[in-house]
Amino acid sequence: MTISDFLERVQNAKPLNAFISIDQTHIREQYEKQAEGSLARVFIGIKDNISVQGQTLSCASHILENFISPYDATVVKKLKNAGAIIAGKTNMDEFAMGSSSEYSHYSAVRNAVHPEYVAGGSSGGSAVAVAAGVVDAALGSDTGGSVRQPASYNGIVGMKPTYGRVSRYGLVAFASSLDQIGIMSTSVENSAKILEVIAGEDPLDATTVPEPVRTFSKNMESQVSDWKIGLPKEYFTEGLSESVRQAVNTKVEALKAAGATIVPISLPHTEYAISIYYIITSAEASSNLARYDGVRYGLRHEPSDLMDMYTQTRANGFGSEVKRRIMLGTYVLSSGYYDAYYDKAQRVRRLLQSDFTQAFQSVDAIITPTTPTTAFKRGEKIDDPLAMYLNDIYTVSVNLAGLPAVSLPVGTDDKGLPIGLQIIAPAFKEETIFKIGTLIERLKS
């Protein structure tokens, strides 16, 4: 792709509102010198909660509206070293808190297939930029499905690596025990190529693991008969739309017909996943977002006194969803409620992790729907937080357990809206996901 091609595509896709900022001067400078490397002149969008030196780092929030990042995130450094072009900062739900990309200070992102529908969230801008053909790939962050869910809604591939596989240095923290940078692209192979570049231990992020990074894209072939695949009954119950159920089952039956072994399994603590997730993430968000107080950076309300500066800065700087989660998190961490909510949620989280550990003793991977329905209309759930939260019912367990997963497009519903299938593998078994994903991409169903 040339720079003129890119800028033309940006202009054509402008109504979708996928980007917060594009630095044309920086793009031209990169294009002139980035002629070598495994990602030479590949245009990659970066979610606006990941640091790119000299560019905005707003997290789609008024409180950081004019903040410019002083350094590159580790993943951005690695992309640049591999020859990639950082194409711009993509729109998102404020501070990555949302499932529709409607909670943005810069207005909602529109679905790339049907603009009157939501893009998914919180990495909606990255998903739409890829689906609309503006960029070759994009990075997002995935705390409870924020890469996989918008990938599903826009008909592309969304990859969430194992917790600790990719450095989070330079990613603005939402919920530190679940956050992970992920990849959005048009194929499993492209996701594998990018993961090869950005994965690996980082001395600047103590949560990264010294696990060897394989050349995933060079080792993606396998036989269907090699695989035992689990189908958890808890993911195919009431609330799953018929169109999504049929699309996923069709692919599962095609795998079975081609020689894969399909094993019914149970993940019994799945019913608690949403509750656990919103207690833990809200608690961690309450702590992480305490730093935005008008003292050091970002928006500052000129005060009559110190307390007035704190309260007015945060009241005016944060949007409604961020405030809701801060208040919920502060409540569950407060004296008298910590044991009843936060501590209990962490205990049940360990039980959920044990469910997956036990399941992977009998199967190589697990297949589920990515989302219970296809994308919904913009504005349809904006005033109903619980309905919005339930969009993540099939994705949050993966983050709570720290596992890798991918969403693949596997068809459309009667409105033409994309449907996603999710593949989950044991920790650091991204290679398994890529191999099975490649098989599914090739299957004719």
Q: Give residue limits of the domains in the chain.
A: 3-218
Average pLDDT score, the chain = 96
Assess whether pLDDT exceeds 90 at residue 304. Answer: no
Peptide bond into 177 cis (omega under 30): no
Residues in the chain: 445
Class of domain 3-218: alpha beta
CA distances from 413 to 120, 273, 324 (A): 16, 27, 33
Query: What amino acid occupies position 50?
Result: I
Active-site residue list: 47, 122, 146
Give the pLDDT score at 77.
98
Over residues 221-231, the mean pLDDT reads 96
Type and span of the H or E element at 261:
strand 261-265
Look at residue 119 and give its three-state secondary structure.
Answer: coil
Contact 7, 72 (CB under 8 A): no
Residue whose C-alpha is closest to residue 233's, from 254, 264, 256, 211: 264
- pTM value is 0.96
Give the pLDDT score at 445.
55
Residue whose C-alpha is closest to residue 388's, from 337, 316, 324, 343: 324
CA distance 392 to 384: 14
Grade residue 297 by pLDDT with cuts at 50, 70 and 90. confident
Taking only the tens place, the pLDDT of each residue in 176-224 is 999 999 999 999 999 999 999 999 999 999 999 999 999 999 999 999 9
Percentage of the chain exceeding pLDDT 90:
92
